[in-house]
Amino acid sequence: MSAEEPRRAGEQAAPPVRAERNGRAERAALAGWIAEAVLERKAEQVVALDVGELTAVADVFVLASGTSDRHVRALADAAIEAAKRRGLKALGVEGYEEGRWVLIDLNEAVVHLFSQAAREHYDLDRLWSDAPRLNAGAGAANAGPEAKP
């Protein structure tokens, strides 16, 4: 279907095409500035995962926890502001109003910000345990083995 052709009823738009995958250094840098942004707002349990080989959705997941719904929203604001400073626009933000689990889609990175209860309940750390961890900076809680280059 060409760009000028209207979609038929019930037909969904194609998802955005992702550019060629980033290399390991670019993934670590991406995770690093996101982690730094949320750590400046006192995020807890910050973990960066290299999911590029496991999913087509993104190259990096950054997970972090806040102490309250207000804190989780402040972490989301920090991540979005950091992206804007780098000329990136969030493709989508979900869960901001509730502040229990905020998901920010930055195309190559997806940021998951949780209340502690939501993080324990959804347990993305376990769900994505096959993903190598990226070194997201000195303050990140990246305990465990890092991926080999």
**CATH classification at residue 108:** 3.30.460.10
Token representation of residue 66: 């806040």
Number of domains in the chain: 1
Looking at the predicted structure, is the pLDDT value of residue 100 above 50?
yes
Q: What is the pTM of this model?
A: 0.77
Residue with the two structure tokens 């972090």: 64
Q: Does residue 48 form part of some domain?
A: yes
Among 7-21, 38-52, 56-70, 124-138, name the one with the lowest average pLDDT. 7-21
Q: Among 123, 119, 41, 120, which residue's Cα sits nearest to residue 74? A: 41
Q: Does residue 15 form part of some domain?
A: no
Q: Does residue 112 form part of some domain?
A: yes
Rounded distance, CA 22 to CA 18, Å? 10
Q: Considering only residues 135 and 13, tell me which one the structure prediction assigns the higher pLDDT.
A: 135
Range of the domain at 112: 44-127
Q: Does residue 110 form part of some domain?
A: yes
- For the segment 30-50, the average pLDDT, to the nearest whole number, is 93
Q: Check residue 4 and give its pLDDT.
A: 45
Q: Considering only residues 115 and 10, tell me which one the structure prediction assigns the higher pLDDT.
A: 115
Q: How many CB atoms lie within 10 A of CB 136?
A: 27
Strand 44-50 relative to strand 92-94, pairing: unpaired
Residue 23: pLDDT band by 50, 70, 90 thresholds?
A: confident
Q: Does residue 134 form part of some domain?
A: no
Size (the chain), residues: 149
Residues 7, 14: contact at Cβ < 8 Å?
Answer: no
Residue 48: pLDDT band by 50, 70, 90 thresholds?
A: very high
Average pLDDT along the chain: 81
What distance, in Å, lies between the first and last C-alpha atoms of the chain?
40
Token representation of residue 56: 């087509």
Q: Does residue 16 form part of some domain?
A: no
Rounded distance, CA 82 to CA 149, Å? 26
Q: Considering only residues 148 and 100, tell me which one the structure prediction assigns the higher pLDDT.
A: 100
Q: Does residue 36 form part of some domain?
A: no
Q: Check residue 83 and give its pLDDT.
A: 94
Q: Considering only residues 106 and 24, tell me which one the structure prediction assigns the higher pLDDT.
A: 106
Rounded distance, CA 59 to CA 22, Å? 7
Q: By 3-state DSSP, what share of the chain in percent is helix, strand and coil, each rounded to 5? A: 30, 20, 50
Q: Does residue 109 form part of some domain?
A: yes
Q: Check residue 78 and give its pLDDT.
A: 96
